[in-house]
A and B are shown apart, each in its own frame.
Chain A
Amino acid sequence: MGSSSYKKRMGPIEKQGVVQAYTMLVPTVAIVMAIVLFPLIANFWISFKDVTVSDLRIAEIKVTEKFQKKPKTKGDISKVEYRFNNFSKSSNIKNVNFKDILPKGLVIKELPNNCSISDNIINCQLGDFKPKEKKKIKFETIAENDYFISQENPKDTSPIVKGKSENRLLNLELKLKNFEEIFTSPNFWKTIRISFAYSLFSAIGSLTLGILAAQLLMTTFIGRGIIRGIFLFPYIAPIIAVTITWKILTDPFFGTINGILTQLQILNEPISFLQVRDMTINFLGFEFSFPVALSFVILFESWRYFPLAMIFILARLQSVPKELFEAAEIDGATPLQKFRSITWPLILGVLFVLFLLRFIWTFNKFDDIFLLTGGAAGTKTLTVDVYETGFNIGNLGTGAANAVLVFLILVFAAIFIIRFSPKE
């Protein structure tokens, strides 16, 4: 159904409808474009630029003004000095123009050669400023009678400096430097691996818990609504509140979990779950290292997002007529048979969509890991890297390049998963 097919049949009323529809949509589309689509494209642009956080402040010339030897009688000579400073470390400022009003009755003895004066307004062309460049203008003034009537100080009026500072985000200098930096970084593949493991296992974990919880809530019993509400708590509580709580719970010195585990003699000594990268485990004579912090973060994700999977699965199961299950029961199906041949095929579609979305969203997730471990102890994912390169190191360009990478990986992952999805 292309748009052209109904265009032909459109009468005046429908045409009016189109106009109305567009008028209603314009503001909505505009705000989403401005805050979501435009930044997405801008992010690609920034990823090709060599910009730092300090470049965001538009470079300006700072002026300081001095007035020495204040005149006491007519004919006294005073000195006026202006100092100009481009504090920016990276930006040129071009065609700098300077204006200031001099008090009445102060006559300039010798006008600096790039300046002009009219109606007591001094106007100077200062030319171009390189980064960190300083310039000065000095002249002497002679006091006349008018000066002593008004007694104004040249410093009473603030000078105006105008210049064309280049905005380093907007110039056309595009480089591949940021991407080179990312791909040559020794930790690049490790970060990718961690991101994938984190997203994959968190998605699987939350879905598994979600299926189990949904099965529990499929039986009818008193207080089911309340329990269903309680099961949603991890998901609706603010992320900052739950991360702080889990950090305190797992604290090796005063943490409740370590206390309980040592009490139950499951652990010999407390473990700092969020700060230990690897732990060597001796199992049946084999030694292997186990990523503690990463596993804990994955468990946290499964804990936080299982309620979501649960609601979706419950919604799917409750939309099925009860007779289906009852009929199977009459036919003598065991509970596991019922699950395998009725429930599982029913929820497979939902599970697939949920897996796709959970995978994508966990891959995108920044807050959870950042708040739990700060990306330390082998939990640095790509999204944490965006923040670190962009704001900790202050290299916005590299940060944006990392964000581009997150975006592209997601697009490909989504296409890949959808291609190999079960047909439904």
Chain B
Amino acid sequence: MNNSQKILISLIISSFWGLISNIVLGVFFILLIGSTIQFNYFSYIISSSIITLLIVFYDRKSLQIYISLFILTFILILIFTGLSPYGLNINENSFLQILFLLIQSFIILIGNIICLSGINKMSFNRLFLEILFLRVLKGFGFTFFLTIVLFPFYVMILMSLKTHQLLILNPLDLSIDITRGLNMFRSYIELFTDWGFGYYLLNSLIVSLSSIFIALIFAIPGAYAVARFNFPGKLLMINSILLIYLIPMITLLIPLYSFFTFINLRDSLFGLIIVYPAVTIPVAIYMLQGYFQTIPQELEEAGLVDGLSRTGVILKITLPLSLPAIASVSLFIFMVAWNEYLFAYMFLDTPAIFTLPRGLEQLDGTEVPRQHLMAGSVIATVPVIAVFLWAERYLTGGLTAGGIKG
């Protein structure tokens, strides 16, 4: 590869990193200080290019070199932007400006180093171009996905810590003002004291845990029968389990609504505690029977020979061995029951028995300030994400097997 090819490629890649780091960090900067900034794309691109050319043509790998390159990037950006990297006077928000500039220099440097590593040893061909192209694409991909995934949650949390005046005054200002101390959590406290979110949380817990319990009580014997016995109609049963799972909830809505009105189950948590297990049982059976089949039958036969009944075998041998499967089924049911909106909305009328999604919907309908809405959303979201992250490492199967619905 000759020098002009190297220069061309370095310039393309460095422009990309200069541009993307400026946009992403600039947007975050706006959200932190809440006021307009200027985007000096060109200055960043030039600084990034100079650094990149240095990396390519002065190809030495050592920590000292990297540190000096880092400092150099920082200084270059400062010079090219005329000492105001975000179009602001360096005196205002100087701590944030410098922090962001350091992060940005780091991203530019690392991005370029990773993307261009090995450029001097490669020949200029399709393989090389594709590898470089994919490196840049991956860098962009991570930035893109992390932004679209985290951005709404970031806004959710920061807005919930604001006051109404602050949000009206400057909707873009999503900084954290630590000096407000516990006052930051005022909307949370008000939701619990004035808006009954304590009850909603409790109701959601009751509904979710009961749904798990009931669904397991019904699904475990069913799954065991499917896994262990041969009986007429077994194949039909396994096939219909999957078909049932494809039945749209909305077609069940009107009949269940009418039926539950007749038998006075509407407007009670009982109604939900029947519906949620019923719609999750087919998947639970499917997941559990798959796992039961992996347990050696000899273990159970040994138990039978030793005088245990069939129930005893299930309770003392099969269940303890299938705890991972039971845990992932429980996680799946928990997520369905905790997040379910349609039936909670149609079935519950009395505020005292609202679940969190229903209560939050009610809150959305009133003229409530948006920091309360965001705080409510955080309250509804945190438990399910926490449970999921805690459990996730043990059981990815829970999502793949049951996750389609929703």
Contacts and interface: CB of A to CB of B under 8 A. Distances in A.
A242 B152 contact: yes
A211 to B, nearest CB: 11
B381 A403 contact: no
A64 B227 CA distance: 62
Interface residues of A, number: 97
Interface stretch (B1-9, B177-185, B188-196, B245-253): B245-253
Contact of B247 (A36, A209, A387): A36
B92 to A, nearest CB: 17
A125 B146 CA distance: 75
A263 B396 CA distance: 41
A240 B254 contact: no
Nearest to A225: B393
A387 B251 CA distance: 10
B218 A396 contact: no
Given A260-B27, A403-B248, A240 B258 contact: no
Nearest to B393: A225
A259 B172 CA distance: 7
Chain B binding site: helix, strand, loop or mixed by DSSP? helix
Contact of B278 (A1, A34, A249, A253): A34
A371 B380 CA distance: 16
B155 A256 contact: yes
A24 B146 CA distance: 47
Contact of A14 (B131, B230, B256): B230
Contact of A56 (B261, B374, B403): B261
Interface in B222-261: 222, 224-226, 228-235, 237, 244, 246-259, 261
Contact of A263 (B30, B253, B277): B30
Contact of B225 (A25, A209, A241, A244): A25
Give me the 4 closest cross-chain CB pairs, A-B, nearest first.
A35-B278, A28-B222, A3-B232, A364-B248
8 contacts: A24-B221, A32-B282, A58-B262, A240-B360, A249-B152, A263-B36, A334-B130, A367-B342
Interface of B: 23, 27, 30-31, 36-37, 39, 126-127, 130-131, 134, 138, 141-142, 145-146, 148-150, 152-153, 155-156, 159, 167-168, 171-172, 174, 218-219, 221-222, 224-226, 228-235, 237, 244, 246-259, 261-262, 274-275, 277-279, 281-282, 285, 310, 335, 338-339, 341-342, 346, 356-357, 360-361, 364, 370, 373-374, 376-378, 380-381, 384-385, 388-389, 392-393, 396, 399-400, 403-406
Given A3-B234, A234-B152, A256-B172, 19 more contacts: A17-B231, A21-B225, A28-B281, A36-B247, A39-B251, A42-B258, A209-B145, A231-B145, A240-B361, A241-B377, A245-B155, A248-B155, A254-B370, A260-B172, A263-B36, A264-B23, A364-B248, A366-B342, A400-B254
